[in-house]
Structure 1
Amino acid sequence: MTDRDSSTVLLRKNATCFINVAAYRRVELDVEAFEPPGGVARGMFGTRGMEGIGGRLTLTSTALWFHAHRLNFIRAEFGIPLDQIVEVRNASRGQSRQIEVVMQSGARPRFLVWGVPTVIAAIDAARGRAR
């Protein structure tokens, strides 16, 4: 399944996804992949022990996709089906504009993205249509 499946693209934004690289290499969407390694407390911007992977966030009518751009060493690519999203919340701190996607599995991917209210509203609207 890719963002090019028979889905309608609703929103595209440049974004950075924060990933625990060691855990992500084992299992992509596991809870550990989005938590700091070794239980390290989150830093001032919520990124301590995490790798920021630059790329693009694409919202379709069926899923929220993240595709890393080619300049990254880690080529993280994954999709979160809209029916697996429990909540999308503003996780911004200071000047760092972030959203946190809470999934049914307990995973909480975080994305650094501009236009947080717009992104959250678009995801919530897409989730409403998908139900």
Structure 2
Amino acid sequence: MELRPTEQYILQNAAANLFRGIEGVGGRLDVTNERVIFRPHSLNIQTKILEIDLQEIVKVEKRNTMFVVPNGMKICVTSGKEYKFVVWGRTKLIEQIRNARNHATAKR
């Protein structure tokens, strides 16, 4: 994945799963000063990269997987779409995304 000219990594290669329909797509999550990028492993059926511009993010919040497991994160965007992830260290990850989004929004 190539970064944009003005882009810098905040976090790289965080293990994550993204729910795409019934498939829990395993991969890696990167956070930059401009976007959140999910890169699926090549072994998945669905291997398309997901890019979410920080300025499109409305909220990032904790969620429980299977109603009780506290390892989920949800990103909601301006279009109304929600992206649901399973991640490790979600509190720190959510904080990093929120801080990056707030900084990107303030620059507008």
Match of 1:108 in 2: 82
Could you tell me whether the CA contact under 8 Å between 1:96 and 1:112 is conserved in 2? no
1:108–1:3 distance in 2 versus 1, CA, 3 Å: farther
Q: Give the superposition deviation at 1:114.
A: 0.5
Distance in 1 separating the partners of 2:25 and 2:74: 15
Aligned residue among 48, 64, 72 for 1:98: 72
Percent identity, aligned pairs only, is: 30
1:64–1:51 distance in 2 versus 1, CA, 3 Å: same
**Structure 2 unaligned residues grouped into runs of 5+:** none
The superposition leaves residues 67-100 of structure 1 with CA deviations (integer Å, 9 ceiling, x where unpaired) of: 1011112112120000000000001242350100
Higher RCO, Cα 8 Å, sep 6+: 1
Which has the larger helix fraction?
1
**Structure 1 unaligned residues grouped into runs of 5+:** 21-49
Q: CA RMSD in A?
A: 1.3
Distance in 1 separating the partners of 2:2 and 2:24: 22
Match of 1:57 in 2: 29
Aligned residue among 66, 77, 95 for 2:49: 77
1:119–1:105 distance in 2 versus 1, CA, 3 Å: same
Distance in 2 separating the partners of 1:123 and 1:129: 10
Which has the larger strand fraction?
2
Runs of 4+ in 1 over 4 A off after TM superposition: none
TM-score (norm: length of structure 1): 0.72
Q: How many residues of Structure 1 are paired with residues of Structure 2 in the alignment?
A: 101
TM-score (norm: length of structure 2): 0.87
The superposition leaves residues 34-53 of structure 1 with CA deviations (integer Å, 9 ceiling, x where unpaired) of: xxxxxxxxxxxxxxxx2100
Could you tell me whether the CA contact under 8 Å between 1:64 and 1:80 is conserved in 2? yes
Question: Match of 2:82, SS?
Answer: coil
